[in-house]
Structure 1
Amino acid sequence: MSRTRRNGGRAARRIDRADGAGSGPSTAIWPGIEGGRYTPFTRREIERVSDTALRILEEIGLKGATPHCVETVCNNGGSLTEDGRLLMPADLVRRMLKVAGRGFKLFGQMPEYDIDPSGTRIHLGTSGAAVHIVDSLTGTIRDSALRDLYDMARLAQSLPNIHMFQRTVVARDLSDPFEMDLNTAYACLKGTAKPVGGSFTSEENMEAAVQMMQMIVGGPEALRARPPFCVSTCFIVPPLTFAEEALGVIECAARHGIPLKLVSAGQAGATSPAPLAGAVAQQTAEVLAGLVYVNLLNPGHPATFGALPFVSDLRTGAMSGGSAEQGLLMAACAQMAQHFDIPCAVSAGMTDSKMPDFQAGYEKGVTELLSALSGANLIYEAAGMYGSLLGCSLESFVLDNDMIGSILRATRGFEVSDDTLSLEVIREVCVDGPGHFLGHDQTLKRMESDYYYPALADRRTPQEWAAAPDRDLLEQARARTEALLGGPRSEHIPAEIDAEIRARFPIRLPKADL
């Protein structure tokens, strides 16, 4: 980006960083930094949770399986009880884990945005399906709309520390389920070239979206080779019940090679056990059931381990997405996925606060940092979410982009070498030098590689801050959001392809809004 030269020292540098939409992939931080240093479970505890999950599948089983699911599992060693519960023996689960997909990528529409969710590499992005938009300026809340979803996808495209974009809000201005599913996928794919995700209410709706994706990428084989979409499917209604329509979505994904985020989202104390270990065990079992089924349909299918035990405030029964327990649970689920060597997807950043305030900051920071330090590969809900996923804020994307950068830097940890231990530099400065390191060559060389500089975070002195006209961080975030949304639209979907999509499908996002 070209910029006119500015004077003004620190203030000018601060504006420059904001103009760049936030410090992103650099020598200090990048997508795929490795975590794994935080391990809430011991090795023995992991084994106990794993054994319990296998016993749940073998001894208790799941109800609600479709005839096709029952036939597929039973033909491969499973069984159906008299009361209709589908049992999966441990040896069947272990066999399917051996062939489960590993080493796959989540693709963007442009290769530079591809994600490698292997090992303990971490990436942070959005999700949530909120039904409200939070206006931090007026304190009002309104229903979310399709245009909001598109705008959020565009913000994700511009903000470098948001590595992937899954549906953030529900298009409540659309009532038809088919149009909502199709337009949700379109708005995400049109707004960003980064890896995209979403869900579908039926197999038929997903088939139509697959046809649209084939048009975007250049045909069925091109889609199979580089699918830019990961389908998030809540195929389980906890406790231990299959969701019939979602099983059809899994079957559709298996036919077309579309990656899956296999989600079981119980609520501890309500739809999964109140003890945190029991919640992890149940959700692990439920996700393993999905891995068994999809790998029986398509061995090696790309699927992520989406065990997501959420937290209830047991005084009220309400979800508490910003609790410390939530961060602990997500870190534990990351450990379980690593135990099975399956790429994992977790949820963090789901603050209970309704506005970008102090509570939101510490809840987002704690839950996301615990998830990142544990090595969770895909950390969803990391930007924009409020009210335990009921609300979303556009300007929070800009604020959370800063926070995610700090989380990446903290997770990266230390580089220990002869150079970084700096013995000779210390000798030079203290014995023959000026007694400080400010002008040393090493300091100048390492200031970008070792340090992350947030775009908007205020590091001025109290006196500078008191005398400045731009004291309000939220106001700066709102201005930056408006500037990003007022900037150029991405052209990763050519106009002629967009016109073909609009001619074939009921796209409700007006061309004038693009």
Structure 2
Amino acid sequence: MEETTAQRPTISLLQEESIKEIISSALRILEDPGIEIDNSEVLNILKQNGVMIDLEKRRAKLPEDLVKKCVKSTPKEVKLYNRGGKRRLLLKGNDVHFDPGSAAIHILDDGVIRKPVSSDLEKFVRLADFLEFIHAQSTALVITDVPERFVDRYRLYLVLKNSTKPVITGAFTKDGVHEMKKLLEIVGDKGNVAEKPMAVFDVCPTPPLEWSDITSQNLIDCARYGIPVEIVSMPLAGATAPATLAGAIVQHTAETLSGIVIAQLANPGAPCIYGGSPAIFDMRQGTTPMGAIETIMIDCAYAQIGKYLGLPTHAYLGLSDSKTVDSQSGFESALGIVLGALTGINMISGPGMLDFESCQSLEKLVIDNEICGMALRMIRGIQISEETLAEELIRKMGPGGHFLNSRHTLRWFRAEQFLPSALIDRLTTSLWQEKGSKNIYQKAREEVRRILSEHQPEALPPDIEKELDKMAEKWKPQK
């Protein structure tokens, strides 16, 4: 076939000079006032590497040369594998992948917002396992029928049982990473979760400029095991960060770089993803809108900084603040997904989520899957070649002709067009009426039921499933 070229469409919110200014400001903040860390082991690691520590304030002042050295030792790509050990995703450059938002404390079930239980997470995982443009799983719900101290590991267990896709997860306890690593070893490569990682752990600094005891412990534990982490800084512009977008991005940069330093000093070369979940603070309502255009702008801008540093990137986008699946949830999610894809963010977390990152909807997830597919088509760009320009074909058809029966059309229409599922209405009005005049939410409900009744995720080998079940027995819901 004739060689074609396609220019990948991109957006840019920051000029290179602005990126350099933001990084310089963040580096100065890391040195003064520094970062507060509520974990003695982490402080000791920093002290052993020459970092000035104020033990009374538990504050570490990170010198610029150390930060730059740690950024340099961070891998420039992260490979993620499926449950069978085959490489599935590459987080690098402008590659874009999607996973559901994680750790929702509610689920929208038949119009009712309620607390989720284990069976809800199982259904959610099975649904995500089926969806083509949801490339990875997440531990999407904080289940309430399991003892609190076991929730982090039991969620991962349910994902590993019900899907082959890589998973974005996280620990809620100091020993969580150790226990969750054992689960990953059972289904993967025993003793070496670093060689073919299938999980990424979120680790979240506390804004402004703090690391908690639990989260900083999770960070160094993952680093030592070689498990990839997403450093998810969460500044709230106007509340826990400056009200200006630039100021919030400076703080995000400082917090994220501090996590990279901690990880690299714990284990040089530990894989880190430059992530985040910032938001603006709505002064009128006292809320943190994830679908706000300014939130999306902060996400896309900090991702540019991550790219400038040569690191894999992540953001929480594709979420909505609506409490139900409606027009607001559609346009807010589409804005985030499309703009995030145009930015080239490697892992976009958020499909399925509502209500300020606190609620999951199965129906929204299948709708968002369509938006993700459209966004991926957009970033493929427009192919330019002699054949795609079709000058000779246009000349041949001439005025008044048509192209329906041409070989060129048959050859190219599927390659050029994203063909959505029946969820997206492209029917004539009369046919739409014949089929019941259904809106997208009604069709999404039907699609969720169909997938859950028909799709069976690939089963684990019996011996592995038995070992996995045995480990999880002590964590199971109390009857």
Same structural fold, with TM-score higher than 0.5 when normalized by the shorter chain: yes
- Indicate the residue corresponding to 2:130 in structure 1: 158
- In the TM superposition, what is the alpha-carbon distance from 1:373 to its structure 2 partner? 0.5
34 and 325 in structure 1: CA distance in 2 versus 1, 3 angstrom threshold? farther
Name which of 445, 451, 469 aligns with 2:411. Answer: 445
Map 1:356-435 onto structure 2 (within 5 A). Answer: 356-381=325-350, 383-430=351-398, 435=401
128 and 36 in structure 1: CA distance in 2 versus 1, 3 angstrom threshold? farther
CA RMSD of aligned residues (A): 1.9
- Indicate the residue corresponding to 1:67 in structure 2: 40
- Indicate the residue corresponding to 1:119 in structure 2: 93
- In the TM superposition, what is the alpha-carbon distance from 1:508 to its structure 2 partner? 5.6
- Indicate the residue corresponding to 2:174 in structure 1: 203
Name which of 463, 471, 476 aligns with 1:504. Answer: 471
Query: Distance in 2 between the 1:46 and 1:195 partners?
Result: 32
SS of equivalent residue, structure 1 residue 305? strand
Question: Is residue 35–residue 375 contact of structure 1 (8 Å, CA) maintained in 2?
Answer: no
Letter of the 1:186 partner, please give it: Y
163 and 324 in structure 1: CA distance in 2 versus 1, 3 angstrom threshold? same
Question: Is residue 203–residue 252 contact of structure 1 (8 Å, CA) maintained in 2?
Answer: no
Question: Is residue 308–residue 333 contact of structure 1 (8 Å, CA) maintained in 2?
Answer: no
1:458-499 deviation line (CA, Å, top 9, x unaligned): 011223323332523222211111111112422342222121
- Indicate the residue corresponding to 2:200 in structure 1: 230
- Indicate the residue corresponding to 2:217 in structure 1: 248
1:429-481 deviation line (CA, Å, top 9, x unaligned): 117xx612222111111111110011010011223323332523222211111
Question: Is residue 107–residue 113 contact of structure 2 (8 Å, CA) maintained in 1?
Answer: yes
1:51-73 deviation line (CA, Å, top 9, x unaligned): 11111101221113422222222
SS of equivalent residue, structure 1 residue 350? coil
Question: Is residue 64–residue 241 contact of structure 1 (8 Å, CA) maintained in 2?
Answer: yes
SS of equivalent residue, structure 2 residue 89? coil
Q: Which runs of 5+ in 2 are unaligned?
A: 1-5
Tell which deviates more after alignment, 65-74 or 150-159.
65-74
- Indicate the residue corresponding to 2:316 in structure 1: 347
- Indicate the residue corresponding to 1:486 in structure 2: 453
Question: Is residue 100–residue 137 contact of structure 2 (8 Å, CA) maintained in 1?
Answer: yes
1:99-135 deviation line (CA, Å, top 9, x unaligned): 1112330222135561101001111111231111113
SS of equivalent residue, structure 2 residue 201? strand
Bigger proportion of residues as strand: 2
Letter of the 1:165 partner, please give it: Q
The count of corresponding residues between Structure 1 and Structure 2 is 470
- Indicate the residue corresponding to 1:7 in structure 2: none
Letter of the 1:155 partner, please give it: L
SS of equivalent residue, structure 2 residue 348? strand
TM-score of the pair, normalised by structure 2: 0.94
SS of equivalent residue, structure 1 residue 225? coil
SS of equivalent residue, structure 1 residue 477? helix
Question: Is residue 113–residue 193 contact of structure 1 (8 Å, CA) maintained in 2?
Answer: no
Question: Is residue 134–residue 142 contact of structure 1 (8 Å, CA) maintained in 2?
Answer: yes
Residue 55 of structure 2 is aligned to residue 89 of structure 1? no
- In the TM superposition, what is the alpha-carbon distance from 1:364 to its structure 2 partner? 0.4
152 and 491 in structure 1: CA distance in 2 versus 1, 3 angstrom threshold? same
Query: Distance in 1 between the 2:129 and 2:281 partners?
Result: 33
Residue 305 of structure 2 is aligned to residue 305 of structure 1? no
1:242-273 deviation line (CA, Å, top 9, x unaligned): 11111111122122211111111121111111
SS of equivalent residue, structure 2 residue 281? strand
Query: Distance in 2 between the 1:280 and 1:308 partners?
Result: 11
Question: Is residue 470–residue 476 contact of structure 1 (8 Å, CA) maintained in 2?
Answer: no
Query: Distance in 1 between the 2:348 and 2:141 partners?
Result: 17
Question: Is residue 351–residue 363 contact of structure 1 (8 Å, CA) maintained in 2?
Answer: yes
Letter of the 1:126 partner, please give it: P
SS of equivalent residue, structure 1 residue 405? helix
148 and 200 in structure 1: CA distance in 2 versus 1, 3 angstrom threshold? same
Query: Distance in 1 between the 2:86 and 2:465 partners?
Result: 22
Query: Distance in 1 between the 2:27 and 2:309 partners?
Result: 12
Residue 18 of structure 2 is aligned to residue 45 of structure 1? yes
301 and 458 in structure 1: CA distance in 2 versus 1, 3 angstrom threshold? same
- Indicate the residue corresponding to 2:3 in structure 1: none
Q: Which runs of 5+ in 1 are unaligned?
A: 1-32
205 and 378 in structure 1: CA distance in 2 versus 1, 3 angstrom threshold? same
Query: Distance in 2 between the 1:55 and 1:77 partners?
Result: 17
Question: Is residue 323–residue 367 contact of structure 1 (8 Å, CA) maintained in 2?
Answer: no
Q: Identical aligned pairs, as a percentage?
A: 31
Tell which deviates more after alignment, 465-474 or 183-192.
465-474
- In the TM superposition, what is the alpha-carbon distance from 1:34 to its structure 2 partner? 9.6
- Indicate the residue corresponding to 1:457 in structure 2: 424
SS of equivalent residue, structure 2 residue 35? coil
- In the TM superposition, what is the alpha-carbon distance from 1:75 to its structure 2 partner? 2.8
SS of equivalent residue, structure 1 residue 185? helix
SS of equivalent residue, structure 1 residue 354? coil
509 and 476 in structure 1: CA distance in 2 versus 1, 3 angstrom threshold? farther
Query: Distance in 2 between the 1:270 and 1:283 partners?
Result: 13
Query: Distance in 2 between the 1:314 and 1:107 partners?
Result: 43
Map 1:178-327 onto structure 2 (within 5 A). Answer: 179-221=150-192, 223-234=193-204, 236-327=205-296
Map 1:73-152 onto structure 2 (within 5 A). Answer: 73-81=46-54, 83-110=57-84, 114-135=88-109, 137=110, 139-152=111-124
Query: Distance in 2 between the 1:441 and 1:458 partners?
Result: 28
- In the TM superposition, what is the alpha-carbon distance from 1:146 to its structure 2 partner? 1.4
- In the TM superposition, what is the alpha-carbon distance from 1:392 to its structure 2 partner? 1.1
